[in-house]
Amino acid sequence: MDFIYCKYNHEQYLSLSYGSGIFAFPWDNVCSYLSNCKKISSFTFPISEKSISSIELPEIGTELNLKDCELSERQILIIKKFMISHSSYKELAELVSTSESTVKKEMTNIQKKLGVKNQVELSMLLSLYKVKF
């Protein structure tokens, strides 16, 4: 089972591929669902947790200031570009004027600091807050 964030006709979706089928769920519905539960299929997402790693997160739906999350300026810039474009590592590297390997390394560090496993979980976590750069 794979989860993929995607855009189609300016709408955002979470795509789920399972067996031979592909299912798309409107992103707003996914975020609404996530705010009411903790477990989605094969991975657990820390929705109701106040603390992820060493970082204290505010209440869901409130402002999340990335500068308070022990992130570097470059990491914050990468998150900003990622939230806007949901681009590949290569495209993000071009947007922030650095190498693809640097973006990969920074995304791994961002995910560790925020306590998420991958870009889909990162997107879901950030969508729960009013993100301040």
CB 126 within 8 A of CB 76: no
Angle at CA of residue 20, ends 118 and 88, nearest 5° = 30
Mean pLDDT for all residues in the chain = 75
Pairing state of beta strands 51-52 and 2-8? unpaired
Q: Write the CATH number for 97.
A: 1.10.10.10
- Give the pLDDT confidence of 59-107 residue by residue, as tens digits: 778 899 999 888 999 999 999 999 888 788 999 999 999 999 999 999 9
As for how many domains the chain has, the answer is: 1
The DSSP result for 12-52, as a single string, is EEEEEEETTEEEEEEHHHHHHHHTT-SEETTEE--SS-SEE
Q: Residue 11 is which amino acid? A: E
Range of the domain at 74: 2-132
